[in-house]
Amino acid sequence: MKQHPEIRENFELEALNTLHVPARARFYMEVESASQLLWALDWAASGQQDTLILGGGSNLVFAGDFRGLVIRMAIRGRRWERVVDHRATLVLGAGENWHDAVLYAARAGYRGIENLALIPGTAGAAPVQNIGAYGVELCDCLESVTALDRTTGELVTLDNGECRFAYRDSLFKHTPGRFVITEIRLGLSRNKPLALGYRDLQEYLVDMPESELAPLDVAEAVMAIRRRKLPDPAIIPNAGSFFKNPVVDLAQFEALGAQHPDIVGYRQEHGVKLAAAWLIDQSGWKGFRNARVGVHNRQALVLINHSGGSGRDILALAEEIRDSVEKKFGVILEMEPGIVAGPESA
């Protein structure tokens, strides 16, 4: 491995974000180890360059060019640790492809992340938004992350509690730029119960007796369900769910229910989580498209770059959707992907 990463200038990022919007990085490096990461960060600091850490580029929107250093995390490696009885810890380098890791664990017979099959992105990005699907969230099995704490320059280990996980949320979202995740540890088991409660999954697996199901069967079911509903970013550029499912209090849910009897909501510990897809769908956006961008015709929560759209085209559409949902339902949708380089700096 080279001592320090190659420095590229004026580097095009279109192929490195799943919305495929054009954006240039003034400087760009790929780092394959924690020491290369430190070198890249020192290089940026000495030249007073802002930095952006990039994983799979599946949860961000470039609203313009990035005028500093983009560091793409390419730290690889998968290994098992503490294999005891039915349990084992799977350690993943931050640059490992998430879906490949899911299949790797499921093929080895280990349970815990099979419901998270086909989520685009890297292992290192997964804790940031606490990826979740089909009744499972990453925080259900994440043991710890190793991260570079940029305030001290030291590698630290943060355990599950310290990561302050919540729905699509974590410590890392609240301390932007402070931690760069280099490795994650997942606690998996060969005999814990499979999570089959999500309706789509139950319907898909209805003919399969639970006792005969292996984690790979569940991963394959999730893949089939996702392929039916969600566009493959390799073919149709998108960034997954564009908004979080909003949580409202019970009184607001009941008031909404009186006006819209078929509203979709799920009771939570505090309040009711509404299906943002339903709100957007009911506001008439499903399948909408203009010349460049649009809304997926099978899942209204997914915005699509149909034909040469820019990040600003996507954000303008998101804004229109948010306004119309607010007007119709009085509910404010929060965007899920991060926005890089706002209009004022682009």
Window 199 to 228, contacts with ligand EPU (CB under 6 A) = 200
Interface with ligand EPU, residue 245, by CB under 6 A: yes
Q: Which of 72, 111, 168, 185 is catalytic?
A: 168
Residue pair 82/89 in contact by the 8 Å Cβ criterion: yes
**Which tokens in the block code for residue 154?**
């030291």
Question: What is the distance, to the nearest Å, from the Cα of residue 271 to the centroid of all Cα atoms in its chain?
Answer: 24
What is the per-residue DSSP string for 179-199?
EEEEEEEEEEESSSPP---SH
Q: CA-to-CA distance for 327 and 64, rounded, in angstroms?
A: 29
The contacts found for 210-214 with CB under 8 angstroms, 24 or more apart, are 214/106, 214/109
* Shorter beta-carbon distance to ligand EPU: residue 149 or 336: 336
Q: Which of 58, 144, 241, 310 is catalytic?
A: 241
* Shorter beta-carbon distance to ligand EPU: residue 155 or 275: 275
Q: Is 292 a catalytic residue?
A: no
Q: Is 241 a catalytic residue?
A: yes
Interface with ligand EPU, residue 56, by CB under 6 A: no
* Shorter beta-carbon distance to ligand EPU: residue 155 or 264: 264
Interface with ligand EPU, residue 275, by CB under 6 A: yes
Interface with ligand EPU, residue 44, by CB under 6 A: no
Beta bridge partners of 157: 146
**Which tokens in the block code for residue 161?**
């509690």
Interface with ligand EPU, residue 286, by CB under 6 A: yes
**Which tokens in the block code for residue 214?**
């292996």
Beta bridge partners of 339: 61
Q: CA-to-CA distance for 124 and 244, rounded, in angstroms?
A: 21
Closest separation between CB of residue 5 and ligand EPU, Å? 30
The only residue of 277, 293, 304, 318 in contact with ligand EPU, by rule CB under 6 A: 277
Interface with ligand EPU, residue 265, by CB under 6 A: no
* Shorter beta-carbon distance to ligand EPU: residue 278 or 329: 278
Interface with ligand EPU, residue 260, by CB under 6 A: no
The only residue of 217, 220, 281, 326 in contact with ligand EPU, by rule CB under 6 A: 281
Q: Please state whether beta strands 24-31 and 66-73 pair in parallel, antiparallel, or not at all (unpaired).
A: parallel
Q: 319: buried, middle or exposed (CB in 10 Å: 19+, 13-18, 0-12)? A: exposed
Type of residue at 311: G
Closest separation between CB of residue 232 and ligand EPU, Å? 12
Q: Is 183 a catalytic residue?
A: no
Interface with ligand EPU, residue 130, by CB under 6 A: no
Interface with ligand EPU, residue 240, by CB under 6 A: yes
- The residue of the chain with the least Cβ separation from ligand EPU equals 240
Interface with ligand EPU, residue 99, by CB under 6 A: no
Closest separation between CB of residue 106 and ligand EPU, Å? 17
Residues contacting residue 280 through CB under 8 Å, at least 6 positions apart: 243, 286, 295, 300, 301, 321, 325, 333
Interface with ligand EPU, residue 241, by CB under 6 A: yes
Q: CA-to-CA distance for 237 and 108, rounded, in angstroms?
A: 32
Closest separation between CB of residue 24 and ligand EPU, Å? 26
Interface with ligand EPU, residue 312, by CB under 6 A: no
Interface with ligand EPU, residue 128, by CB under 6 A: no
Q: CA-based angle 33:16:312, to the nearest 5?
A: 135
Q: CA-to-CA distance for 37 and 110, rounded, in angstroms?
A: 31
The only residue of 27, 110, 204, 278 in contact with ligand EPU, by rule CB under 6 A: 278
Packing angle, helices 215-229 and 98-107, rounded to 10: 150
Tell me which residues touch ligand EPU (CB under 6 A). 133-134, 200, 229-230, 240-241, 244-245, 264, 275, 277-278, 281, 286, 299-301, 336
Q: Which residues are the active-site residues?
A: 168, 241, 336
